[in-house]
Structure 1
Amino acid sequence: MPAIGAVRQVALSAGRDLDSTLAFWRDVLGMGVHARYDPPGIAFIMAGDVRLLFTDGVPAGTVYLDIAGLEPFHAQAKAAGVPFTAPPTLVHHDTEGQFGPAGESEWMAFIKDPAGNTIGLVERHPPQEE
């Protein structure tokens, strides 16, 4: 069996308008374009060490991003007119420590970009923040 390492790249739909999709990621999420190639009309945004590839010809996908300050971001983005498909919600009490330190809770909110990609915003809270 091969030794698989970290995730290197995730492909997401660019939709019909690469510029509006990239503008959403820049203006709403603060994530700028790392590289762009025209033609063929593809772009990369870095999420830590993971490349997010935006191209046509792939179906809309879902990506989960860590965020610090989910509640304040939700309030600011909502006030700016960003539609959320789900507000910040407790999704998991990690009592066993399966996905991080034991006792933490995981909260998520969801938005969609202009290409239809779902973006899950994830924040873990220590037990005393419940």
Structure 2
Amino acid sequence: MRLAQVAQRAEDLGRAADFYARLLEVPPTATFDPPGLLFFDLEGVRLLLDRNAPSALIYLRVGDVHEALDRLDGFAEIVSPPHVIFQHGDDTLGPAGHDEWHAFITDSEGNTVGLISFQKA
């Protein structure tokens, strides 16, 4: 079994498309409006931005949390700045020998989104 899709609320699909394309550095894969659905492919897992979905707290792995925030400068409110949340001594939850960085932002639709990256310790 594997995760197939995650849904997140988006009131304005155009605004959400611009925001997530900037964050993810990929264009949307599909838009169906009506009924108000926007999709991005996250390496085989669909991110669905949906006018009728509830808000969810999602965590997105990015190459570097600091660089992702630089790309979003002026487009996202930083809820919690980048910080090391955990140091991985083994590979149980992340790559051994790496620090796990987190930051939290508010997306264009008012949802909180966690950003995660791993940096060699």
TM-score by length of 1: 0.80
| Residue type of the alignment partner of 2:30 | A
Q: Does 1:34 align with 2:29?
A: yes
Q: Aligned-pair distance for 1:28?
A: 4.0
1:106 pairs, out of 79, 94, 100, with: 100
Deviates more, 1:49-58 or 1:62-71: 62-71
Q: Matched residue pairs, number?
A: 121
Q: Which runs of 5+ in 1 are unaligned?
A: none
Residue equivalent to 1:57: 52
Query: RMSD value over aligned CA atoms?
Result: 1.9
3-state SS, counterpart of residue 73 of structure 1 = helix
Q: Deviations over 1:51-74 (max 9, x none)?
A: 011112221112211111322333
| Residue type of the alignment partner of 2:8 | L
Residue equivalent to 1:22: 17
Q: Which runs of 5+ in 2 are unaligned?
A: none
Q: Aligned-pair distance for 1:7?
A: 0.8
Q: Aligned-pair distance for 1:25?
A: 1.0
Q: Aligned-pair distance for 1:99?
A: 0.8
Q: Does 1:126 align with 2:120?
A: yes
Q: 1:36 and 1:77 mapped to 2: Cα distance?
A: 22
TM-aligned CA distance change 1:76 to 1:52, over 3 Å = closer
1:11 pairs, out of 7, 13, 28, with: 7
Large movers: runs of 4+ above 6 Å: none
Q: Aligned-pair distance for 1:117?
A: 2.2
TM-aligned CA distance change 1:52 to 1:73, over 3 Å = closer
TM-aligned CA distance change 1:82 to 1:14, over 3 Å = closer
TM-score by length of 2: 0.85
Q: Contact 1:60–1:115 at 8 Å: present in 2 too?
A: no
Q: 1:55 and 1:73 mapped to 2: Cα distance?
A: 23
Q: 1:99 and 1:92 mapped to 2: Cα distance?
A: 10
